[in-house]
Structure 1
Amino acid sequence: MDFVLVGIVALLGSGLTFFSGFGLGTLLMPVFALFFPIDIAIALTAIVHLLNNLFKLSLIGKKANIKTVLRFGIPAIIFAFLGAYILGALTEVETLFTYQIGNRSYDITIVKICIALLLIFFSLFDLIPKLKRLEIDTKYLPLGGALSGFFGGLSGHQGALRTAFLIRAKLNKEAFIATGVVIACFIDVSRISIYAKDIWQLGDKLNYPLLITASAMAFIGAYIGNAFLKKITINTIQIVVGVLLILFSILLGIGIL
């Protein structure tokens, strides 16, 4: 049952999030957590996420806009470490409200609300026709990278913010997806380097057959997503991103993510 459920989620998650650039980890980690302790679930998710991004890099990476990668990605990596440092310095992230559904507790924090409001704001630019025609000047890309990296380091939710900025960065659909993949790979590598010691210590607890299954199904999902890329327009991608940003924002704001 675990192989079937994890495989299906990896396949659908990778395929559906190929265009948005975020969401695979959000979908996959709770499924891994059904079968493993949370530390192992996080490690498995991080490995699958990196391998899937590397596979997407092989499919579409050459379409990336290198100038955007550097202007957005370098500040993102630097500020990701800053966000992670601040998180480590905090003994406890301030919780505004805690509620319970069944046996699970959910926390609403200032950080999550701030990110949710930012994402809702940017999603409007992808859904409202008048705002959709507006474009973010490329001089603001380093700011977008800094915000994405900082909040990513602080809470782990950098993918949606990265997409929210890049979708307005005057890139065509191939360059938008490829640029996001390259930046995601940079961040995944830095994240895995921090997790490496813990992952090594987990050893056989990682369940390598399940890890291989999840990775293989994620590869298939990415391959299918890439096959459909030529058949969709940048406008369709903007709508998909806008809807997913709002959904992600709501779930984040109420503490479920």
Structure 2
Amino acid sequence: MDYLLLFILLALIAEIFGTIGGFGSSLFFVPIASFFLDFHSVLGITAIFHVSSNITKIAFFRKGFDKNLVIWVGIPAVIFVMIGAYISKFFQTVLLEILLAIFLIIISLGFIIFKNFSIKPTIRNSIFGGIFSGLIAGIVGTGGAIRGITLTSFNLSIQTFIATSAIIDLGIDASRSVIYYLNGYVHNHDLYLIPILLITSISGTYIGKLILNHISQEKFKLIVLILILVTGVITFFKFVFF
């Protein structure tokens, strides 16, 4: 029972940070859940948890999404998350997660140091960001950091960032949930967690939204980059030294 309460508390914190960062809770939830569940169970539960999480975010931030980014980032992401989800059973994910951690550290530091640098929201850049984030999400369970880097580089407003990211993420998670289920990652003995995580996602998103009401656009971008940097560092040390 103590483990369950701890799991719920950590999931709530992950949802709050995921909302504040704008790229979803899976970036934090996956490493947290991995301490309680096996890797494939984590993938299955995370995808289902994230569906409810993103529906909640869309409800709270529905006025801000960018239709063009939803199309040019979202469609490639959905296609490649299904590919990544299918091939996830053939991969040893440790090396991939280490490489992802190094990438996140370098890119987030780059944007923090060079504050005025931005990437133009062209169709090509949007498609590339969607492909990369979708593929990584399918294989290792979370591609929110890649999408966060992509959307952050476009200098979007807080409302647009979160709403656009949530809509794209909903397509990604709905797609990979089906593949993970077919792969046997969704286990009957874990299904009791779904209603618990549904309530957790609504509560965490609401708390995150209240916090965002007191954060400026500039601080929001810095928070996103710092959260991505911290995640990269923690992921790197987790797999290299433990």
Output the TM-score relative to the length of structure 1.
0.79
Specify the alignment match of 2:63 in structure 1. Answer: 62
**Counterpart of 2:203?**
220
1-structure distance, mates of 2:180, 2:81: 14
User: What is aligned with 2:144?
Assistant: 159
Match 1:168 to one of 141, 144, 153: 153
RMSD: 2.7
Partner in structure 2 of residue 135 of structure 1: 118
Query: Rg bigger for which structure?
Result: 1
Counterpart AA for 2:233: I
Q: Which runs of 5+ in 1 are unaligned?
A: 96-106
Q: Equivalents in 1 of 2:39, 2:132: separation in Å?
A: 27
Query: What secondary structure sits across from 1:12 in the alignment?
Result: helix
CA contact (8 A) 1:14 1:221 kept: yes
Could you say what secondary structure the match of 2:223 adopts? Answer: helix
SS of match in other structure, 1:249: helix
Contact 1:80-1:149 at 8 Å conserved across structures: yes
**Residue 97 (structure 2) aligns with:** 112
Aligned residues: 236
Partner of 1:13: 14
C-alpha deviation, 1:41, in angstroms: 4.3
Deviates more, 1:156-165 or 1:111-120: 111-120
1:58–1:76 CA distance, 2 compared to 1 (3 A) = same
Tell me how far apart the structure 2 counterparts of residues 155 and 44 of structure 1 sit (CA, whole Å): 13
Q: 1:183 aligns with which of 158, 168, 174?
A: 168
User: What is the distance in 2 between the residues matched to 1:150 and 1:9?
Assistant: 26
Matched, 1:242 2:233: no
Q: Sort the Cα spacing of 1:132 and 1:33 in 2 relative to 1 into closer, same or farther, 3 A.
A: closer
Q: Is the contact made by 2:85 and 2:179 (CA closer than 8 Å) also made in structure 1?
A: no
What is the alpha-carbon distance in structure 2 between the residues aligned to residue 30 and residue 156 of structure 1? 10
CA shift for structure 1 position 114: 3.3
Deviation, 1:134, is 1.9
Partner of 2:190: 206
Q: Deviations over 1:110-138 (max 9, x none)?
A: x334323332232124422xx22122111
With normalisation by structure 2, the TM-score equals: 0.84
Secondary structure (helix, strand or coil) at the match of 1:195 reads helix
Kindly indicate whether the alpha-carbon contact (under 8 Å) linking 1:112 and 1:255 is maintained by their aligned counterparts in 2: no
SS of 2:155 mapped into structure 1: coil
Change (3 A) 1:61 1:228: same
Percentage identity across aligned positions?
Answer: 29
Quick one: structure 1 residues 142 and 33, their matched pair in 2 at CA, closer, same or farther if it must change by over 3 Å?
closer
Letter in 2 for 1:206: D
Q: 1:150 aligns with which of 118, 127, 135?
A: 135
Distance 1:223 1:187 in 2: 22
List alignment gaps of at least 5 residues for structure 2. Answer: none
Deviations along 1:78-129, one digit per CA (max 9) or x if unpaired, are 23334445545x4x54x8xxxxxxxxxxx4x1x334323332232124422x
